[in-house]
Structure 1
């Protein structure tokens, strides 16, 4: 039966040609439409996956850069304290100060003071006190200026802490700065070694969401492309050179001979010594394109099934149309052979078959149109999904932009946004001589507030202070949280010291007059600095404001000091 059916489909007869034509036409149409829809969906899915990868990598890099910059600045500011510059480096007060710092930032494995002979003088819990560490690289570098060291092993310090992983050595990063006397001469070194686990935890916290389901892997690479984390890749895996460095993501071949969808984000930390670290997120290409391959396979199967159905329908129609024609051909052959009387097709049947053929063609055309409509509906549904995902990505980008510029606790701008604004103001000063002022204020005895009333009450004080600063400044002024209990106010086009002092005094008085919930009266000290044409950078303005703030603290707090 099958052989008989195949003989009927011989391409030389009308029935076979009609069946093949309709089958090939439907298959070609479906393949073209399917490839077009699949290509659009593939491009949109690949774009969405790559940008999602880059957003995660960028978030981790920004978080890491912010924390590294904070630790570097903390060490540089701490060594400028008067107790270091003028006091005895053996003073127990220094040891208590270092202990408080370590308790405040548990990422510090060790923090201490070293004299010019390389002997450790002060450290929390007397850790390494009396040891000679003059040959350590960070100590040698800090004698010349502030220094931030790359990740390394430290056998002497590692012996003091429990091992995190059996096959992974303990590693640390260094922050150090020289201690100067009043004449600017080096009298010692303030150094700190932070746990490498602190860096890893920050990076993983920003990238591990849904990473297991998507088979993502987070790596940290140094400036030369060597893998610093995870440790089992160190020395064996090398970061490949991007083909298009400006593109947020691309497919790269790694030296493990596998292709990965890769996104690289530079850790732009403002440290004393540039580190050049990069956060790398990679996803095996097979996992990245698996949804696309599934979509293509489903479209191909769908096209083949529909083509088979169309071919079967075409065969049935061709059979009904070809019967009178075949009967007529047999009649012609009978006439030619003259061996028997020809039997012609019944005229009534012939007209009826033509009418049926017309109805069948209309039915087939209707089926094609319905199927085309179904494909258009499928295409519209896919485009709607792509639009919704694009819109969701846009909303996520906006939210990330807001989180990147606004402090989550106080609602005012954050340190990163402030750094960008003061840099713009300093550049404007150089081009148009339009000056600006800077207020740096700090809540007096804030640690006592936290100790006495709890951190929740302290957080409420910070939130209320952010509101007061916004209410006490002009619309054009820029209010930001600088770090901890410190806030900054950027005063555009403020060149008159009296004007800056008036704003600072207004803020100080508003704080002193406010009744803070659960705490009561709180005071704040304010340091004022105006930008000068001879300033080498915006950091000089911040430094003067910081020094003025320290003077206000030294003069009894709850006051404004300008420099």
Structure 2
């Protein structure tokens, strides 16, 4: 047998093709590697930004809802402590007028009523359910021993007597209730309220609506068992995924409909001792959440392929120019080997070709550097975009924080901020013995303004009152809207009781002398009290100020009454 393998010439590729393949392949590898790395970093940042946006929105909605629930609970608690309920006839028209006024001022209430100790409704807003018994209702039974906040439910009896503005779903309510006690702590009855469930859902939706970063995001509210409470179309048909956890800011989860969603969930802090277990959930289809990252990755891949193709074309042309003199030399070598006549050599091109080759390499290197610079600029623009989104989220958080601490109508601090500041002053008083003063200011006959000139005129008067109060106190004093036409001023550093009274009289006189335009003269009554070492809680000081305000009203209004615990005397 012969040795054919040893004599058969091996197939070889031209220098031009090899150089083209090597340069094109290396360029493609380098550009794709760099592009994939940059794309991976950028897509991670975009995906993280989307998840954080969902979580921040869910957290904001949860905090706002918890604040509103706590304020409604405190409102019911303060109402049942008023002298009218502690001392008056619970079936009187005055009680009904007070309940109607409260419902009118806060449209989230569907019904507010008062019962006796046996569960018989003695008075209610618009007279609804008066004479009915609620002995078996959970809110009445629970409120006999303390404040109560109940889970969402349907109220068949009440629903028949109230209009339903959303016929696609039944009327649903949440309950607030508290016992009514007399001055000796004896039970007189129960104050209960039903708030619209739509108030809860509108509160949550208001945080998310209009945010472009949350495209096609869906807001849900779930109970502690994972059942969906809102939207109503999912009630009984959809449940939270088993792997959903409130300890994780966001995650991609598969839901019961078989679709993957980027999901953020935040537990709503229940007011008082309630155990509602509600969770605010924001979910966004995974395809929508990942769309910006996928688009960016595809663009980077396409850019890398185009750049690699251009580099391969440049390499081919360079190889052609370099290989020409080498081909001539190879032809000359073959001619000499075969003795085919005089070989033809490249004419004076050896050094020039080497220089040209060097210049070509420099040109290609410069081209690669330009492509790298373009990728760096693209990466920098992506980082700027991420930074811009982060700043936008930060500004949105600051706006939400301001909304949570300020009253929307007057721009003064709201009830939540007042409670925090009052607690701080009380704790400081316990530590240092430094006393502070609190005054409650109430516009006299304010209902007349609303009834005569309308609520817009009433709102304008409240804004003027807020401006006058804020402009006639010291820099260190704290001014808040207490609710309705009531305002509270905290004086952290009064020199003495007389100093606080001078500030109160200054305020009262300034308001009495102010021109309120078409609304006519407006006066205020002021209840003033100072902290005392015997106070057990901030509510003691507030209660004294409320009592002083009540006395000011009883004594003819447009006056200041000071209630001093130490001497148990009143000063008008």
| Shift in Å, 1:177 | 1.8
| 1:117 aligned counterpart, secondary structure | coil
| Shift in Å, 1:184 | 2.2
Instruction: Count residues with an aligned counterpart.
Output: 552
- Which residue in 1 is equivalent to 2:570? none
Q: Partners of 2:225 and 2:435 in 1: how far apart? A: 41
Moved more, 182-191 or 439-448: 182-191
Check whether the contact 2:527–2:549 (CA below 8 A) recurs between aligned residues.
Answer: yes
Structure 2 stretches of 5 or more lacking a match? Answer: 1-10, 564-572
Q: Partners of 1:431 and 1:333 in 2: how far apart? A: 106
| Shift in Å, 1:299 | 0.5
Check whether the contact 1:226–1:239 (CA below 8 A) recurs between aligned residues.
Answer: no
Moved more, 214-223 or 162-171: 162-171
Q: Superposition pairs for residues 17-416 of structure 1, below 5 Å?
A: 17-162=18-163, 168-210=169-211, 214-235=215-236, 236-238=238-240, 245=247, 248-254=249-255, 258-268=259-269, 270-271=271-272, 273=274, 275-333=276-334, 335-336=336-337, 338=338, 340-341=340-341, 343-416=343-416
- Which residue in 2 is equivalent to 1:6? none
| 2:373 aligned counterpart, secondary structure | helix
- Which residue in 1 is equivalent to 2:424? 424
Check whether the contact 1:495–1:530 (CA below 8 A) recurs between aligned residues.
Answer: no
Q: Partners of 2:102 and 2:556 in 1: how far apart? A: 23
| Structure 1 residues 87 and 522: alpha-carbon distance in aligned structure 2, compared to 1, 3 A threshold | same
| Structure 1 residues 88 and 546: alpha-carbon distance in aligned structure 2, compared to 1, 3 A threshold | closer
Q: Partners of 1:75 and 1:496 in 2: how far apart? A: 33
Check whether the contact 2:27–2:311 (CA below 8 A) recurs between aligned residues.
Answer: yes
Q: Partners of 1:27 and 1:534 in 2: how far apart? A: 82
Q: Deviation digits for residues 262-290 of structure 1, max 9, x if unmatched? A: 33344446456353433222212221111
| Shift in Å, 1:244 | 7.7
| Structure 1 residues 206 and 213: alpha-carbon distance in aligned structure 2, compared to 1, 3 A threshold | closer
Q: Superposition pairs for residues 509-524 of structure 1, below 5 Å?
A: 509-524=509-524
Q: Partners of 2:386 and 2:124 in 1: how far apart? A: 58
Q: Deviation digits for residues 147-202 of structure 1, max 9, x if unmatched? A: 11111122222233455666744321111122223432212222221221222222
Moved more, 66-75 or 144-153: 66-75
- Which residue in 2 is equivalent to 1:528? 528
| Structure 1 residues 290 and 175: alpha-carbon distance in aligned structure 2, compared to 1, 3 A threshold | same
Q: Deviation digits for residues 80-139 of structure 1, max 9, x if unmatched? A: 343433333332333343334334433332222222232223234443233332111001
The normalised TM-score by structure 1 is 0.88
| 2:85 aligned counterpart, secondary structure | helix
The normalised TM-score by structure 2 is 0.87
| Shift in Å, 1:528 | 2.3
Moved more, 419-428 or 472-481: 419-428
Check whether the contact 2:53–2:213 (CA below 8 A) recurs between aligned residues.
Answer: no
- Which residue in 2 is equivalent to 1:480? 480
CA RMSD, aligned part only?
3.0
